[in-house]
Amino acid sequence: MNNHNFYIYSNCDFSAKSAGATRMLYYAQILANKHNKVYLTSCCSGTIENNMFSEIQPNIFVHTDKELTRKPLKTISFLNNLHQFSKNNPGEDTFILYPYPFIFLELFSVLYFIFIKKNTVFYELNEVRKYASEYHASISFKRIWYSLKKIKNTTAFALLDTLLPFFKGLICISSNIETYGKRYQNNTFRLPILTDPNISIKTSEIKYVTSNSFNIGFSGSILPSKENLISFVNVFNKLIESQYNLTFNLCGSVDTKDRNLLFEQLDKYDKIHYHGNLEKNELSSFLDQQDLLILPRGFSLQNKYGFSTKLSDYLNHKKVILVTDISDNKMYIKDGINGFVVPPDDEELMRNKLKYIVENFENFKETIISNAEQTSKEKFDYRLFKKTFQAFLLASKKSSKN
């Protein structure tokens, strides 16, 4: 078997904590073996050399010594340096682009990296970005500059979709996004959210829950409109009014405006606690201590086509999970079997479901968690895709030579 090098590149900083970096690390674990090396490479200034990478697992290298850039000319220089770096490494080459909300890297990936340098590049399609600003404020004549910027960004992302046919193939995170991707490119591979059911969870002694209370947890980027958190807090507060002993715990990145919206205007009962943007071990401690973990997303075109990677974190921590019927959630989470599912944007049904969970929790907890763990092993374990994903990438590579 020939040696092969896979280069996953992006504006993402793969050495930092993020959902994108975690997902691409799973890709690397799928692809790396004694014949394959994987390089997680961030768009940077300057040359790219082997001594700029740290080997974090056998044959998996993360770009650590770099100066990130988003500027157009430096982006072209990065692609040229990445091309030269790949040619200096023995073995065949395949590239995977993980997109970010900056257009130059993928624009020049097609115009320069594919057309001129003739590289084989696959595209990670994890959202439809022309819908990604739905949860922001609407276009309005009262916010003319904001509205013009939103129109510009939405138009740019829509135009970028027309470049999808020029990639060798699309790696799609959900069934809806695969259907969308096939409008532009028939060569697709659906790779859902990924987990490691055997991962060793490291926790600390710091407490992130309230004693003698039913603790509900949410982690990740706190975007109230996208995650439907305003509606969930309304449901939560009504349950508090009905004398349910609950605590809602959140952690993750949040800006000042959203934090004020959630914690000053809506927290009437001092039952909502924000624990900051936690590091990996502390995040594990936070998740491990909750009774119930939630994904309350409402319907939007962005959420329809996405698939929240938070679910993989939740499953890894072997907890009871409540999700809304958005994207592929209901394909994998069966209500009352391995978790709980409610329709999106229905506060009454959400409230009734939470009542049921709290009142009957001890009766079903062990069974639900056991079934969820089985789902993680049978549907999302990254090891399940080792043969099929590699075959997809290499078959496409072979067909390009014929």
Q: Which CATH superfamily is domain 214-380 in?
A: Glycogen Phosphorylase B; (3.40.50.2000)
What is the pLDDT at residue 138?
60
Residue the block writes with tokens 């502390």: 282
Domain segments of the chain: what residues?
Answer: 4-194+382-401, 214-380
Closest CA to 292 of 372, 222, 375, 192: 372
What is the pLDDT at residue 146?
60
Q: Is the pLDDT of residue 17 over 90?
A: no
Please give the order of strands across the beta sheet that includes 272-274. 272-274, 246-251, 214-219, 292-295, 320-324, 340-342
What is the pLDDT at residue 279?
85
How far, in Å, CA of 221 to CA of 68, rounded?
A: 22
Q: Count CA within 13 A, CB hemisphere, residue 308.
A: 28
Predicted TM-score of the model (pTM): 0.90
How far, in Å, CA of 172 to CA of 180, rounded?
A: 9
Q: Is the pLDDT of residue 390 over 70?
A: yes
What is the pLDDT at residue 400?
46
pLDDT tens track for 303-342: 898 898 889 889 888 899 999 999 999 999 999 999 999 9
One-letter amino acid for residue 225 of the chain: S
What is the pLDDT at residue 393?
95
Q: Please indicate whether the domains covering 4-194+382-401 and 214-380 agree at the CATH topology level.
A: yes
- Residue with the bigger pLDDT between 144 and 10: it is 10
The residue count for the chain: 402
What is the pLDDT at residue 269?
63
Which fold is adopted by the domain 4-194+382-401?
A: Rossmann fold (3.40.50)
Q: Is the pLDDT of residue 123 over 70?
A: yes
Q: Count CA within 13 A, CB hemisphere, residue 391.
A: 5
| Residue 101 Cα to chain centre, angstroms | 14
What is the arithmetic mean of pLDDT over 195-211?
88
How far, in Å, CA of 64 to CA of 105, rounded?
A: 19
Q: Is the pLDDT of residue 397 over 60?
A: no
pLDDT tens track for 54-63: 999 999 999 9
What is the pLDDT at residue 161?
92
How far, in Å, CA of 376 to CA of 379, rounded?
A: 6
What is the pLDDT at residue 268?
62
pLDDT tens track for 67-112: 999 999 999 999 999 999 999 999 999 999 999 888 899 999 999 9
How far, in Å, CA of 113 to CA of 110, rounded?
A: 6
Closest CA to 323 of 341, 347, 349: 341
Q: Is the pLDDT of residue 7 over 70?
A: yes
What is the arithmetic mean of pLDDT over 105-133?
91
